[in-house]
Structure 1
Amino acid sequence: MGALDKLTLLPVLDLSGIMSYINKALRRLQKEKNSPYEAYRHLFDFSEKKPQRYSKWLSLVGVMTVFCFAAAMIVFLNTLDETKARAVFQSVPFKPPVAAIYAQALEMQRKGNLQEAKTSYEKIVKIDPQNVQALNNLGVIYMEQKDYEMAIKYFHDALDMNNEYVDAHYNLACVYAQKKDSVQSMMYLKKAVAFNPQARQWAKNDDDLKPLRGLPEFSALMKEPGNLP
Structure 2
Amino acid sequence: MSIITQALKKAQHEQRLQQSPQAQYGTLMPWRPKAPGQPSSRRFSGLIVAGVGLLCGVGIVTYVALSVPGSLPVAMTVPTTPQPAPEPDLPPASSSPAPRSQVLKRVQPESLPPMSPPHRTDMAIAKAVAPPPPPAPVQTARAEPEMSPAEKRARAQQQLDSGIEAYHAGAVDEAEVALQQAIALDPTLKRAFNRLGNLYYQRDAYQKALAMYQKALALDPDYIEARNNLGNTYMQLDMSDQAILELNKAILVDGESGLTYYNMACVYARTQEPEKAIHYLEQAIAREPEARQWAKTDTDFTDVRSMSAFQKLLGTSS
Sort the TM-score into its range (normalised by shorter chain). Answer: 0.5 to 0.7
Q: Distance in 2 between matches of 1:223 and 1:109?
A: 31
In structure 2, which of residues 190, 213, 222 is the aligned counterpart of residue 121 of structure 1?
213
The correspondence of residues 217-228 of structure 1 with structure 2, limited to 5 A, is 217-223=309-315
The correspondence of residues 64-103 of structure 1 with structure 2, limited to 5 A, is 95-103=187-195
User: What secondary structure, in the 3-state scheme, does the structure 2 residue paired with 1:211 have?
Assistant: coil
In structure 1, which of residues 198, 203, 209 is the aligned counterpart of residue 290 of structure 2?
198
Matched, 1:141 2:226: no
Q: Distance in 2 between matches of 1:193 and 1:112?
A: 27
Residue 176 (structure 1) shift: 0.4
In structure 2, which of residues 253, 259, 280 is the aligned counterpart of residue 161 of structure 1?
253
Which protein has the bigger helix share?
1
Relative to structure 1, the CA distance from residue 3 to residue 112 in structure 2 (aligned partners, 3 Å threshold; closer, same or farther) is: closer
* Paired residues, number: 136
Q: Determine the structure 2 residue equivalent to 1:104.
A: 196
The one-letter code matched in structure 1 to 2:238 is K
RMSD over aligned CA atoms reads 2.0
Q: Distance in 2 between matches of 1:3 and 1:131?
A: 24
Residue 108 (structure 1) shift: 1.0
Q: Distance in 1 between matches of 2:197 and 2:290?
A: 26
The one-letter code matched in structure 2 to 1:162 is D
User: What secondary structure, in the 3-state scheme, does the structure 1 residue paired with 2:303 have?
Assistant: helix
In structure 1, which of residues 185, 191, 206 is the aligned counterpart of residue 277 of structure 2?
185
* Contiguous gaps of at least 5 residues in structure 1: 5-93
The one-letter code matched in structure 1 to 2:266 is C
Question: Identity across aligned pairs (percent)?
Answer: 30
Residue 169 (structure 1) shift: 0.4
Tell me the alpha carbon deviations over residues 170-204 of structure 1, each in whole angstroms, 9 at most, x when there is no partner: 01101001111011111100000111111110000
The one-letter code matched in structure 2 to 1:145 is L
Q: Distance in 2 between matches of 1:149 and 1:136?
A: 14
Residue 210 (structure 1) shift: 1.0
Q: Distance in 2 between matches of 1:126 and 1:196?
A: 28
TM-score, length of structure 2 as denominator length: 0.41
Residue 96 (structure 1) shift: 2.4
Residue 152 (structure 1) shift: 0.4
User: What secondary structure, in the 3-state scheme, does the structure 2 residue paired with 1:197 have?
Assistant: coil
The one-letter code matched in structure 1 to 2:283 is K
Tell me the alpha carbon deviations over residues 50-103 of structure 1, each in whole angstroms, 9 at most, x when there is no partner: xxxxxxxxxxxxxxxxxxxxxxxxxxxxxxxxxxxxxxxxxxxx7421121122
Larger Rg belongs to: 2
TM-score, length of structure 1 as denominator length: 0.56
Q: Determine the structure 2 residue equivalent to 1:151.
A: 243
Relative to structure 1, the CA distance from residue 116 to residue 220 in structure 2 (aligned partners, 3 Å threshold; closer, same or farther) is: same
Relative to structure 1, the CA distance from residue 222 to residue 105 in structure 2 (aligned partners, 3 Å threshold; closer, same or farther) is: same
Q: Distance in 1 between matches of 2:187 and 2:215?
A: 10
* Contiguous gaps of at least 5 residues in structure 2: 1-147, 151-185
Relative to structure 1, the CA distance from residue 196 to residue 3 in structure 2 (aligned partners, 3 Å threshold; closer, same or farther) is: closer
